[in-house]
Structure 1
Amino acid sequence: MNDPTEEGLWRPLRLLLARMDDDIARLYAGTDIKPTYVMELLRLHFRGPMTIRELAESVKRTHSALSQKVAAMKAAGLVEVAQGPDARSKLVSLTPAATAMVAKLAAEWRATEAASAELEAELPYPLSRVVADMEEALSRRSFHDRIAARLADDPAWQR
């Protein structure tokens, strides 16, 4: 049997996105800002304080993932966490230090979006169109169902 991890149709895409993320991180080198916090910090600035659940839903992440990220942002002095509207929820808001960074974060976001559009314009077909087409195809038949159908005929999966 060959090592199946040697194959990876979309691995180059993951590596490309990681390289681009690394380039964004280089912009923040020497600062206290983590690029992975930018979306949430901007969302809190423009929409105001939110519960962790509301914030998670707004950025399309799990509650668990956002709870961990909020804890890290709190430790970094970027957000404050208070009792939410009910006993089980926590309300997240920006600290003055994070509010002072908002203009810079928004400038980077706009520049990144413009650079992405510039890069996409150099391609023979837009990646955003590929993503939309894939979303449409997956709405007809989920990735799970496509994989499960192949596994149903694989004796190694049935063991």
Structure 2
Amino acid sequence: MRSTHGTQLRHLIELLDGAVTAAYEEAGLDYRPRYTPVMRALMANEPSTIGFIADAAGITQPAATQTIALMVKDGLVASKTGSQDGRQKMISLTGKGRELIPALERCWRATAAASAALEAELPFSLSAVLDSTIQALTTKPFGARIREARAELDTASPINS
């Protein structure tokens, strides 16, 4: 039986994230791979709002909110009410978060080198395929594609009553 895209992607993420998590552990770091986009966004622009972090990291605002909540719990970032807008939370690195940066950057360089080696083994660029897929789904979301396919199936083969 052929796996669906969702199953294949979940398995790929498990393989990649599992290895990256193990690499952080081997480096003596208590750190999750999902923190990286937020860390990178804050390293480039701190403090930042959750919305800015989500945009900079290329993740949804709910995903950014969930990740930041975990990072606050782990003591890597702090959240305080914005001075100009009390509804906004300003996120910044804590001392603990800043102390991790040199070790994280070493891990990220190793991960980038491993990714490049993986790409060299493939008959195509995985990064390019993923970028193209994300662009296609941004242009026309998968939900719309499912609805279109369902409508085509419904008109092509009406259900017998």
Q: Residue 45 of structure 1 corresponds to which residue in structure 2?
A: 43
Please state how far the C-alpha of 1:139 moved relative to its aligned partner.
6.4
Q: Residue 77 of structure 1 corresponds to which residue in structure 2?
A: 75
Going from structure 1 to structure 2, the CA distance change for 1:50 and 1:17 (only over 3 Å counts) comes to: same
How many residues align? The count is 152
Distance in 1 between the 2:64 and 2:135 partners? 27
Going from structure 1 to structure 2, the CA distance change for 1:110 and 1:92 (only over 3 Å counts) comes to: same
Find out whether 1:27 has 2:23 as its counterpart: yes
Going from structure 1 to structure 2, the CA distance change for 1:47 and 1:143 (only over 3 Å counts) comes to: same
Q: Deviations over 1:82-123 (max 9, x none)?
A: 111301101000001110101111221222112111111111
Q: Residue 97 of structure 2 corresponds to which residue in structure 1?
A: 98
The farther-off stretch of 58-67 and 136-145 is 136-145
Going from structure 1 to structure 2, the CA distance change for 1:127 and 1:50 (only over 3 Å counts) comes to: same
Distance in 2 between the 1:140 and 1:40 partners? 25
Going from structure 1 to structure 2, the CA distance change for 1:13 and 1:128 (only over 3 Å counts) comes to: same
RMSD: 2.5
The secondary structure found in structure 1 opposite 2:3 is coil
The AA in structure 2 aligned to 1:45 is M
Q: Residue 3 of structure 1 corresponds to which residue in structure 2?
A: none
Contact 2:76 2:97 in 1 (8 A): yes
Q: How does 1:125-140 map to 2 (within 5 A)?
A: 125-135=124-134, 137-138=136-137
Contact 2:40 2:57 in 1 (8 A): no
Contact 2:77 2:91 in 1 (8 A): yes
The secondary structure found in structure 2 opposite 1:91 is strand
Percentage identity across paired residues of the two chains: 35
Distance in 2 between the 1:74 and 1:148 partners? 39
Q: Deviations over 1:38-83 (max 9, x none)?
A: 2212321232210111111111222222222212211111111111
Unaligned 5+ runs, structure 1 = 1-5
Structure 1 stretches (4+) deviating beyond 4 angstroms?
A: 135-142
Q: Residue 68 of structure 1 corresponds to which residue in structure 2?
A: 66
Q: Deviations over 1:19-55 (max 9, x none)?
A: 1110111112253222221221232123221011111
Distance in 2 between the 1:136 and 1:32 partners? 33
